[in-house]
Chain A
Amino acid sequence: MASDLTTHDGQPLHKSLAKALRREKLRALVLIAPLLLFVLITFVSPIADMLFRSVENSIVPKTLPGTTRTLQSWDALGEELPGEEVYASLADDMMLAQELKIHTRLGSRLNYDQPGIASVFRKSGRQVKKIDSSAHLDGFIQSNEIWTKPESWANLRKNGLWPGAFPASSTAWSNWVRFMKSDEGDDVDLSEKTPSGLAYSALYFDLQKLSDEQWRQLTDSDNETTRAMFNGLREASAQFPAANYKEQFLDMHDGWGKLDNWRTLHRLSPPIVDSYYWASVDRERTSDGVVHKPENERIYVKLFVRTILMSALITLMCILLGYPIAYLLATLPTRTSNLLMILVLLPFWTSLLVRTSAWKVLLQQQGVINNILVWLGVVGDDGRLALINNMTGTVITMTHILLPFMILPLFSVMKTISPSYVRAAKSMGASDWTSFRRVYFPNTIPGIGAGSILVFILSIGYYITPELVGGTKGVFISNRIAYHISSSLNWGLAAALGSILLVAVLILYWAYDRIVGIDNVKLG
């Protein structure tokens, strides 16, 4: 049996072979390791990071940890503002956020989804310090003096029910600790301090939710301090003065009274959200589900469609212009074809910026082409053609720039087509046109496929040329992505747009594979 074969030293043959191959594989791995590492670090990981940014939303739950939690129980579809508990946790979160000066950043993030909300956060940040949080604190102190002492909180935090039964309190506590550290330095001694009234409010709301069993655990505790803290507190808390956080916030900024603002906050509470993707297709989530944005705000779908259509047009132009050149290159004598090849490659030796700028000179209204047309009398002086800062400009310039990427694969495929094919076809009676259509052309399809994929994918993501010659009508989705990366700083949206572009290309690639077959693509 084959599996029983052994080498001379008695090792099973397949093991011996695997060992020999393993060394080969290891060698290969070592050889590619530097490049692999380079690609992973500089290419794959940034892309993965970028893709993650399109759904990443941790800024909201991290900046407003209490608010996002309490908002979960709010009925976002209803017509009522959140309750006192939510406003209390908002006050607590905002107190820390304005201390850390991160509330404006959060405002900008939310503003992408809810224009106008940024100023609500900005303006509230200044006033949130003045919030009166004494109502519940007074109640606690009246119930038992022990609540004024730091050991009450130390004791609470050692209790077995902390933090599970005290989610708001524990958030408020850690907010307070961070606040104090930021305010007074990392080495501040908190053991002699009790938290602010906001923490007592949080505790108040937590207490409301404790079960009878949990109350019993607290009041019947072995710990004397715990018993002192909680005995009678349940009854007393019912008599606590009412807090008025909601009222204070409404006074601060009427934005806090708008349902839409709260709905946005509610929707964006999770750390992973799909809002950027809906925005990328001109839609948004509202209380009525996903709806189209208003007509005048729709832009991305149009841009995506335009990008794909123009890329297809550019690809088609490249095929039409490149095919005859490639044919000449492949059939002319070597000396002539080498010269022609240099002309084809010439653009590669010139800066992209220079070439694009040259087209600006050529195409503008007072430019060379229009001047010649006027001089020839083809168009009147007042009828100069608009060849730039529109789609025409983008298509002309991009076709020129991407043409070599069509010619080269076409050329290398045509080079392999023996002239005897066409001769054979002609000898069998096919006219020039028929032998081209039935014999030569089918054999060049792999080259057309390769060239089209190259040109289309390059063009769909092109940025600099549409930016320079496209005006407003001739820009691509990539220009919008660049705008969001560098100007509006809405990286999440840029990432979502980029991801959609990537997926669109992959889908087209898949469709191409199904229709033409990727095996039919030859680069030479």
Chain B
Amino acid sequence: MSSINGAAVRFEKVQKSYDGRNLVVKDLNLDIAPGEFLTMLGPSGSGKTTCLMMLAGFEPATHGEIFLNDSPINNVPPYKRGIGMVFQNYALFPHMTVAENLAFPLQIRKLPKSEQDAKVKKALDMVELGEFGNRRPIQLSGGQQQRVAVARALVFDPDLVLMDEPLGALDKQLREQMQYEIKHIHENLGVTVVYVTHDQSEALTMSDRVAVFEDGVIQQLSGPDELYENPQNSFVAQFIGENNKLSGTVTAVDQNTCQVRLQDGTELAAEAVNIQGVGEKTTISLRPERIEFDPKESMQNVVNGTIQEVIYHGDHLRVVMDVAGNDEFVVKVRNRGDQRELKVGQVHPLGWAAVDCKALDFTG
């Protein structure tokens, strides 16, 4: 059933149901390479945390098999899997000091006391908390607790570390700082990391690959840039980054491009990514920063829009327009300083290249 392919983690046809009626995870197939930083990204209820819990061993898979270093682990209890884990609320033991927390997995493994001390010290130094060993977790700030939790998950040198929304409880600035720290730790140690989050910017900054979950299914599995540049379906396009939606009907298909007629009759050229064929409905996805206020000659699509609202963002302006019946159409304009005055009610021609707009599955 399994194939030896060197994957650190392998999900094979995994399904999970809690109530026997609904599948929370539907037919999950996923290979995670050793040393990879893989993020499971999705809205709450999409099944990503369930996958992590099945991997950690806290939830049994209803069907299918999970492999760890090519050996099946469905019947291996969590404490024998040797997987480090960072929990959303850190789960630091309140009755132990920071050092005792870190020593816990080492004591379980019956390491000699001197080796324990050395490892604990090294782990604390790694997260720059060398002097906090004798504190109780409650005496630390949120960010410090978070670092202790990361150190504790790594102190026993696991090959695989799972992180379940570890930065969810931190404020924005601290969260960004911690993202880099975790990223660096990962790069330095070379462990495999499976990271669960619902924050797409977190996923894009940290990961080697991102698995976008929705409705118990991986919608797209690819690197962060690929995910942003080439979303495979409307959900991914909508979930990752900002996105303008335009709905219409495919009128012609020519290899990788297609013609789409919008509801108000505008004809657009788009890259055919995920369409059913001529005559079928499609939703076009278009990033706000790819739209030009002064259409160039080379641009296949030029459409007039009416300015609804102009929002000043410092480095850029955000212009909300009414384009082809979509009155939430957003255009990002770089602040060059010599910007003409944009006034509400003005009608402006907008242009973009066919490759920048993707014809995807219809979402209404």
Contact = CB atoms under 8 A, between A and B. Distances in A.
B275 interface: no
Interface stretch (A3-11, A368-376, A430-438, A456-464): A430-438
A428 B152 contact: yes
Interface string A415-429: 000101101111111
Interface residues of B toward A: which range? 20 to 34
Nearest to A446: B95
Contact of B87 (A423, A429, A438, A443): A423
A430 B156 CA distance: 12
A333 to B, nearest CB: 11
A429 B95 contact: no
Contacts of A432: 77, 79
A424 B79 contact: no
A430 B104 contact: yes
Nearest to B92: A424
Contacts of B104: 425, 428, 430, 438
A428 B85 CA distance: 8
A146 interface: no
A439 interface: yes
- Max chain A Cβ within 10 angstroms of own Cβ: one of B58, B95, B105: B95
Nearest to A423: B58
A424 B85 contact: yes
A431 B79 contact: yes
A442 B56 contact: no
B105 A429 contact: yes
B85 A427 contact: yes
A425 B152 CA distance: 10
Interface in B63-97: 77-85, 87-89, 91-95
- Max chain A Cβ within 10 angstroms of own Cβ: one of B80, B104, B109, B153: B104
Interface string B153-177: 1001000001000000000000000
Nearest to B149: A424
The dominant DSSP class at the A interface is: helix
B93 A427 contact: no
A349 to B, nearest CB: 34
A427 B83 contact: yes
Interface in B324-342: none
A8 to B, nearest CB: 38
Contact of A426 (B79, B152, B153): B79
Given A428-B104, A429-B105, A443-B94, A420 B78 contact: no
A234 B328 CA distance: 128
Contact of B105 (A420, A421, A428): A428
B4 interface: no
B108 A418 contact: no
Given A418-B89, A428-B84, A430-B79, 8 more contacts: A420-B88, A423-B85, A423-B87, A425-B104, A427-B162, A428-B152, A431-B77, A442-B95
7 closest residue pairs by CB, A with B? A428-B105, A420-B91, A427-B85, A424-B91, A426-B78, A429-B108, A426-B79
Interface of B: 56-58, 77-85, 87-89, 91-95, 104-105, 108-109, 152-153, 156, 162
